[in-house]
A and B are shown apart, each in its own frame.
Chain A
């Protein structure tokens, strides 16, 4: 089974901190994605990547950046955390659309 591992289940950070959320997949998937999920708003795409060192903005990239130095790892960076970035963050990966998506277990981030 494909595994997508998010390094932290719960994180509490202070306003203004730089925050790194890590995601690692073990099946050589080309494509990786970061979503945030909020009650009443559903899943919203932040950034995605089709290849190493490649990134594309999703629907809500403001306040975020990403890094993909190796194929298996896709990091989401909150440059200066704010309280409105308190959310559930979900990482996903995919070989290609024929095979659908595999999600990690999520990181619940609270910014205080």
Chain B
């Protein structure tokens, strides 16, 4: 059974820092991995989707990498801003059978001015 872990559970940084959020998974037979952002009391907003054949995806100040062999993905946020404060979740879809993704519990990020 796939298990997805996000460490740390919470992070507080000053504005302007470059930071890395981690997502680890136990089964490397994945189909793709998706990063989401969730603001308090809101739904999930898709940030980046990485297919298993890809090593990374970029969108603006965000860069997500995928290393299947080590069971890890990282979300890199450059020059963090207070508006980046949110919870970031990763979801891993496996190959074969049902492709219902497994979600991590998320990293709660606070960027203070």
Contact = CB atoms under 8 A, between A and B. Distances in A.
Contacts of A6: 43
Interface string B76-113: 00000000000001010100000111011110000000
Interface string B51-69: 1000000000000000000
B46 A105 contact: no
Q: How large is the interface on B (under 10, 10 to 19, 20 to 34, 35 or more residues)?
A: 20 to 34
A33 B36 CA distance: 16
Interface of chain B: mostly helix, strand, loop or mixed: strand
Contacts, number: 46
A103 B45 contact: yes
B34 interface: yes
Contacts of B34: 100-101
B32 interface: yes
Contacts of A45: 100
Nearest to B41: A108
Q: How large is the interface on A (under 10, 10 to 19, 20 to 34, 35 or more residues)?
A: 20 to 34
Interface of chain A: mostly helix, strand, loop or mixed: strand
**Residue among A99, A101, A104, A106 with the most chain B CB within 10 A?**
A101
A90 B44 contact: yes
Contacts of B93: 97
A45 B42 CA distance: 17
B46 A100 contact: yes
Nearest to B98: A56
A100 B51 CA distance: 10
Contacts of B99: 96-97
23 contacts: A4-B43, A42-B103, A42-B105, A42-B106, A43-B103, A58-B100, A90-B43, A90-B44, A96-B99, A97-B32, A98-B32, A98-B51, A99-B49, A100-B34, A100-B46, A100-B49, A101-B34, A101-B46, A101-B91, A103-B43, A103-B45, A105-B42, A108-B41
Interface of B: 31-32, 34, 36, 41-46, 49, 51, 89, 91, 93, 99-101, 103-106
